[in-house]
Chains A and B, each alone.
Chain A
Amino acid sequence: MFVSGLGYIIGETFKGLYRNRWMCITSTGVVVVTLLMLGLFMLVNLNIDHITETVKEQVEIVVYIEDQAAQEAVNDLYKQLSEHRQVEEVTYVSSEEHMRRLQMQLGGMLEGYDSALDNPLLASYEIKTVVPESVVELAEEFETYPAVSTVFYGQGYVENLFAVTGVLQYVGMALMLGLAVTAIFLISHTIKLTVMMRRKEIVIMKYVGASNWFIRWPFLMEGLLMGLVGAVVPLVILYYLYQYSIEWVAGNNLYFLSLLPAEPVIRELAKYLIPLGTGLGIIGSTFSIGRFLRV
């Protein structure tokens, strides 16, 4: 049986990792810590996104129908609203329903009031838009429609909400990009250092007649393994940490913090962290070893 080939590469990879175990543990540790920080930030960012989207989804336009409007005009208005491209859902709310809601909100304050006889509240259409950010523009448009009395969308509050969520998302994205660049820099330099520590070995291999790929393969595999372990360990830590956070939020009745479920979030993180870890491991090793092979 020949020593060359896959068996040699796998054997040398594990021997190399064992012989240089302290350096490899240190390098993998750097990858773990860096990707843990990045993963943690991604986790927070994903949840901030989720919470802001949830808040935004609650934004709606209420179109009040004129009291004197004919039934035909009301039907036309419904048709016009429901066929609008930027409208997702239109719900009719009668004046009686408005009164019922008001009574529920005010509790006993309206007790004895006969709403069937004298109900000053107007019927309305509650509209959910396709894009929450378009409510201001749409509200202005709906005001011009016939049979419309007034339009309400939480004027003032909505503009502030969108400004704050917009800033949060941009800041989150910028910080995440910064952290990702730092992770790339830190991991590739750590891998480079691991290869540099073994440059003597590489140069000797060249002198005794090893081909470049014969030298390169075990280093690439080592880089890949270090990157893989460096990505999987933070994912496991983040999974348990996140699971604990979800339970803590639920246990403390913080329902306004609607966190994303653990498994899909960790799967989403894995899509980025595993290719990043292994990719940097391989690329870091390839570039670092390159200059020692020019002997």
Chain B
Amino acid sequence: MVEADNVSMKYNRCKQYALEDVSFSISRGEFVFIVGSSGAGKSTLLKLIIREIKPTAGLMKVFGKDISRLPRRRLPSLRRSIGMVFQDFRLIDDRTVSENVAFALMVTGASRRDIRKKVPHVLGLVGLQEKAKERVCDLSGGEQQRVGLARALVNRPSIIMADEPTGNLDPGTALDIMNLLRSINLSGTTVLVATHNREIVDRFKKRVIYLDQGKLIGDEQKGIYTHVR
């Protein structure tokens, strides 16, 4: 589903590589943690997968296709197949919970009927049905992240990618969000979580890809964070 073959990435005006010769393969339905300290290259890796940036060298394949060669007009289709969850939630503050979720459906040209059906369903999945009409700025951090998850889920993507999804949350709420991601994964969706939350990684015992200063230094099934170094 996601394949990196000697992928390197160097940003303009930077001397060091953000990623260097990284290779791995992620299959359909896997739950993978991408771990490492700040600046290890986790976010760069996610940006490469969603084709926000192109690799400087190497081959990055998503859904079996070299996404560096993907024409710009095909990018929306790629991104609709990948649901993104962000540390800072990236919600539109002056809109309601429903509107934020419906937004992701609208861009695909979904019908009103479809939107009316899918939005309450996905809000039910993340436990926010009761808050559908509230503005997101009135919600707690955990609730806002649930809205972010609902938005990522509503188009039924094949992959969910979360960049530090628990970074702004207290431990209890962080665990709730991770449990939600686990249940999403159990329904067959591939889940990639970039994090440096040691507790969460150790608790879930899933596949862990370790990055350090742009290099892949480990890739373990049922790995734990403490194995780094």
Contacts and interface: CB of A to CB of B under 8 A. Distances in A.
A156 interface: no
Interface in A257-295: 295
A207 B112 contact: no
Contact of B90 (A4, A204, A212): A204
Contact of B103 (A4, A8, A208): A208
A205 B112 contact: no
Interface string A195-223: 00000110111111111101000000000
Interface stretch (B34-42, B76-84, B179-187): B76-84
B73 A211 contact: yes
A295 to B, nearest CB: 6
Interface residues of A, number: 20
A2 interface: yes
A209 B80 contact: yes
B77 A209 contact: yes
B103 A204 contact: yes
Chain A facing B: main interface SS: helix
A284 B79 CA distance: 28
Contact of B79 (A2, A8, A201, A208): A208
A203 B91 CA distance: 11
Contacts of B95: 19
A209 B90 contact: no
Closest 3 CB pairs of A and B: A209-B80, A210-B107, A4-B109
Interface of B: 50, 52, 72-73, 75-80, 84, 90-92, 94-95, 103-104, 106-112, 115, 151, 155
16 contacts: A1-B111, A1-B112, A2-B110, A3-B115, A200-B92, A205-B107, A208-B79, A208-B104, A208-B151, A209-B75, A209-B76, A209-B80, A209-B104, A211-B107, A214-B76, A295-B52
